[in-house]
Amino acid sequence: MSFRNITADELLKHIAIISIIMMIGTSTSDLLKNIFNLALPSYVGAMFIAIIFNNLNIRFNIVKINRNLIDIIGITSLNIFLSMALFTSLIVFKAMGKDYDAAVMVSGMCGSGLGATTNAMLNMGEVSERHGYTPNPYLIVTLTGAFLIDIFQMPIIITAINIFK
């Protein structure tokens, strides 16, 4: 794999394409669930839409896709996911008490690692929907994710701005 000839614009374009395909695919999975009562994981719909898009793109050349860049994005995403999964399952789950509350908190931590407290809440909601609700993780993750991080984040950002200006 080569990093030559990859620009920031090209990277952002490819990430946007992947994100749109994932969004449409997730919606497709939800639609199939609601219409046909067919429960599919969200990624199955995304994979299905990606296959359709890829075949249409090869046939009609809608967008120029850099396969090398897609491979780099995929490998990077997989490595981030695997390191986060290992850290949460081997360290955080044990540190939180190795019980159901710990499992729900780990799902919340994975969500936070993927973006924000909103993702954490969605992850915990999925686990709770399938295996039962428990209040403790919702209290802990929202407090740490929304409240405490915001308290510490602003001084760090302001300090960094002042140091590097």
Residue pLDDT tens, the chain, 165 long: 556 678 999 999 999 999 999 999 989 988 988 899 877 777 888 999 999 999 999 999 999 999 999 999 999 988 988 898 889 999 999 999 999 999 999 999 888 877 677 788 888 999 999 999 999 999 888 888 777 777 777 788 888 888 988
Q: What is the DSSP letter of 99?
A: S
Q: Based on the domain organization, do 83 and 164 belong to the same domain? A: yes
* Strand spans (E) along 7-133: none
Q: Based on the domain organization, do 83 and 153 belong to the same domain? A: yes
- Kind and range of the H or E element at 82? helix 67-87
In a domain? residue 72: no
Q: Based on the domain organization, do 53 and 92 belong to the same domain? A: no
Of the three residues 14, 32, 65, the one that is the final residue of a domain is: 65
Q: In 3D, which of 51, 47, 54, 49 has the Cα closest to residue 24?
A: 49
In the chain, how many domains are there? 2
**pLDDT score of 118:** 78
Q: What is the DSSP letter of 63?
A: S
pTM summary value:
0.64
In a domain? residue 139: yes
In a domain? residue 71: no
In whole angstroms, give the CA distance from residue 122 to residue 132.
14
In a domain? residue 93: yes
Q: Based on the domain organization, do 147 and 111 belong to the same domain? A: yes
**pLDDT score of 3:** 60
Q: Are 99 and 123 in contact (CB under 8 A)?
A: no
Length of the chain measured in residues: 165
In a domain? residue 70: no
Residue 159 belongs to domain spanning:
79-165
Q: Based on the domain organization, do 33 and 100 belong to the same domain? A: no
In whole angstroms, give the CA distance from residue 59 to residue 41.
28
Q: Based on the domain organization, do 5 and 52 belong to the same domain? A: yes
**pLDDT score of 131:** 95
Q: Based on the domain organization, do 85 and 151 belong to the same domain? A: yes
Biggest CA pair distance of the chain: 57
Of the three residues 65, 91, 109, the one that is the final residue of a domain is: 65
Q: Based on the domain organization, do 115 and 160 belong to the same domain? A: yes
Q: Based on the domain organization, do 57 and 83 belong to the same domain? A: no
Q: Based on the domain organization, do 52 and 127 belong to the same domain? A: no
Q: Which amino acid is at 121?
A: M
Q: Based on the domain organization, do 55 and 134 belong to the same domain? A: no
Q: Based on the domain organization, do 85 and 165 belong to the same domain? A: yes
